[in-house]
């Protein structure tokens, strides 16, 4: 990804800020710094404000999506400890998270957990401009903005080079995309079996509508009269249910039909972000799916939404015509490894 050119600035140095990166710190340091400069046009920023921004930016991928940051990355460990200490919701907005962290800097444990990121990150980030030797050496050389470096370091704060402020503000969105593009490449290698890593780097503004999926299940339920909730056994009628993501949306990041099931309205709050115990629920889930698919296929075999099932089987027609046991086996082959990967990432098995 090429950054916008500016003949007055060493853009080539900026483009190398993520070279030889072994942890996520630099990505989140830059995004947090950029956020403050772009929104407030401030040139002096404390380490603590940037670090609070780092934690806030990484909160959702760590706590909600449970992405692995790699063994050498303290951001995950520190963030989990901070969540435990401050009881911040896993889906909190980043502005709230940052505010809570800054308000709790007088808490010795909180400040100790955040202090880890004051040790190397601010100094090594300047490596494209100032060859790293020691922290003190970088501090001294940065204060004259050597090689037009991005900022100078004084005590526990940075001062943005005045020559960079306009560029950072004007190209904020491009620079943020640059950081997240590089972060995606970094995290994809550490989460090779996780679907849709790019969409898990920030909190979604709004989830996609489930209108088409509700129409599918309403049509089926209206055709057969009612079905029983696989979790509670309660009778379910058309338009009087919640759609449950069998494997949590926070892992799959999609609303495809083969992972959705009508459920009693009490289930979503109970099951939440947890994994279904397959030995108990996969067979009834597959039976409902098979019956619904056969019914809707018979009504309209060309319905485009049925293409959702092509991930489970090469042909929708062949999937419909499978025996009950073969259909279950097709679903088992899809869900078993998925649930195992999610459990390895830290998703919990639901205990109803």
Q: What is the pLDDT of residues 6-44, one digit of tens each?
A: 999 999 999 999 998 889 999 999 999 999 998 888 889
Mean pLDDT of 176-204: 91
- The two tokens of residue 220 are 């089926």
- Residue 243's DSSP bridge partners are 262
DSSP category for residue 261: E
Rg (CA), the chain: 25
For residue 139, the model assigns a pLDDT of 96
Closest CA to 214 of 234, 239, 235: 239
Q: Taking CA 253 as the corner, what is the angle to CA 91 and CA 295, rounded to the nearest 5 degrees?
A: 125
For residue 205, the model assigns a pLDDT of 64
- The rounded percent of the chain whose pLDDT value lies above 90 is 80
> What is the pTM for the complete model shown?
0.81
Residue 208 has pLDDT above 80, yes or no: no
Q: What are phi and psi of 75, to 5 degrees?
A: -60, -40
Mean pLDDT of 111-135: 94
The dihedral formed by the CA atoms of 239, 242, 247 and 251, expressed in degrees to the nearest 10: 110
Closest CA to 307 of 266, 254, 343: 254
pLDDT band, very low/low/confident/very high, at 215 (cuts 50, 70, 90):
very high
Q: What share of the chain is helix, strand, coil (3-state, %, to 5)?
A: 55, 5, 35
How far is the C-alpha of 189 from the C-alpha of 117, rounded, in Å?
23
Name the strand (E) or helix (H) holding 245: strand 242-245
Crossing angle (nearest 10°) for helices 25-40 and 162-170: 90
- Residue 263's DSSP bridge partners are 242
For residue 206, the model assigns a pLDDT of 64
For residue 345, the model assigns a pLDDT of 85
Residue 72 has pLDDT above 80, yes or no: no
For residue 268, the model assigns a pLDDT of 80
Count, residues in the chain: 352
- The rounded percent of the chain whose pLDDT value lies above 70 is 99
Cβ(28)–Cβ(58) under 8 Å? yes
Burial class (CB in 10 A: 0-12, 13-18, 19+), 261: buried
- pLDDT tens digits, 262-273: 999 888 888 988
Mean pLDDT of 82-90: 94
For residue 277, the model assigns a pLDDT of 96
């Amino acid at each position: 990804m090429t950054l916008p050119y500016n003949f007055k600035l060493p853009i080539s140095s900026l483009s190398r800020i993520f070279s030889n990166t072994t942890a996520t710190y630099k990505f989140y340091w830059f995004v947090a710094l950029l956020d403050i400069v772009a929104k407030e046009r401030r040139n002096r920023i404390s380490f603590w404000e940037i670090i609070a921004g780092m934690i806030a930016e990484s909160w959702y991928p760590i706590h909600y999506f449970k992405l692995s940051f790699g063994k050498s990355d303290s951001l995950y460990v520190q963030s989990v400890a901070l969540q435990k200490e401050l009881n911040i919701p896993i889906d909190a907005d980043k502005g709230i998270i940052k505010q809570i962290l800054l308000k709790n800097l007088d808490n010795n444990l909180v400040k100790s957990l955040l202090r880890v990121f004051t040790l190397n990150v601010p100094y090594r980030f300047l490596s494209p401009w100032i060859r790293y030797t020691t922290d003190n050496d970088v501090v001294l050389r940065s204060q004259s903005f050597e090689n037009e470096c991005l900022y100078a370091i004084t005590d526990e704060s940075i001062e943005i080079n005045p020559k960079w402020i306009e560029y950072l503000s004007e190209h904020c969105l491009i620079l943020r995309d640059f950081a997240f593009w590089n972060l995606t490449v970094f995290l994809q290698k550490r989460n090779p079996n996780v679907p849709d890593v790019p969409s898990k780097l920030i909190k979604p503004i709004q989830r996609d509508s489930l209108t088409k999926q509700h129409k599918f299940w309403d049509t089926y339920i209206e055709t057969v009269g009612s079905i029983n909730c696989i979790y509670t056994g309660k009778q379910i009628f058309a338009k009087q249910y919640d759609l449950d993501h069998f494997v949590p949306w926070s892992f799959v990041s999609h609303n495809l039909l083969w992972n959705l099931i009508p459920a009693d309205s009490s289930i979503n709050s109970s099951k939440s972000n947890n994994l279904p115990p397959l030995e108990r629920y996969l067979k009834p889930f597959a039976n409902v799916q098979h019956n619904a698919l056969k019914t809707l296929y018979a009504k309209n075999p060309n319905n485009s939404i049925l293409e959702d099932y092509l991930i489970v089987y090469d042909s929708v027609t062949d999937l419909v015509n499978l025996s009950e046991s073969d259909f279950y086996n097709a679903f088992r082959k899809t869900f078993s490894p998925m649930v195992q990967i999610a459990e390895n990432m830290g998703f919990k098995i639901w205990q109803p």
